[in-house]
Amino acid sequence: MLNIAIIEDNADFALVLKCHLESFGGFRVCGTYRMAEEALAGLRKHPVDIAILDISLYRSNGMDVLRKMSPQMSSIQYLVLTMHEDDETIFSALRAGAHGYLLKDAHPDLIVQALHTLAAGGSPMSAFIYRRLLGHFHQPHPKVTARELLSLREKEIMDQISRGLLYKEIASQLGIGRETVKKHLSRIYGKLNVQNKIEALNKYFGH
């Protein structure tokens, strides 16, 4: 028997969902909550296996439940069931501790299936949400420039080398030892995947 909490400010929707779950057997709805603070107090007093959670609650935000309860009660799994389908909300909910994410237009049987998937260790999501996640990871990532790979000190050394200064002159300018300059330059070669100062300068300045 899975103990379920429903965190939803639409009383009619919560009641229909409760009745649907209990009609299947294997589910016991232990509490329904309209507000984040009410849910936080209720879950601490009566922990459940799975909490079904909307993002928009009465005078509150379901994200607060995720952020506060996930670190405190890791045994509870959270299934977001909401109308919010924007990237910011999806990723914020998953980062905050949601284990699954369904849209409210999901068929009731799909919600039941999602609860069983959660109990089995899976992460159920609406097909639309899953595609949004895949779309995010398929986006090309901006290319990192050679300059961005280097630390502030390494950039200072490259700027000094571009002026034609010797190791000892760079050391004097930066107030560090000559050997330290060499070590920095060795790391620069590794980061830029080059063999000498000419290659490093060309890559650093984008030639």
pLDDT, residue 55, reads: 93
- Tokens at 57, concatenated: 């609650």
Q: What is the pLDDT of residues 139-168, one digit of tens each?
A: 666 677 888 888 889 999 999 999 889 999
pTM score, whole prediction: 0.66
Please, what are the domains in the chain?
2-138 (3.40.50.2300), 146-204 (1.10.10.10)
- Cβ within 8 Å of residue 103, ≥6 positions away: 81, 82, 83, 85, 126, 128, 129
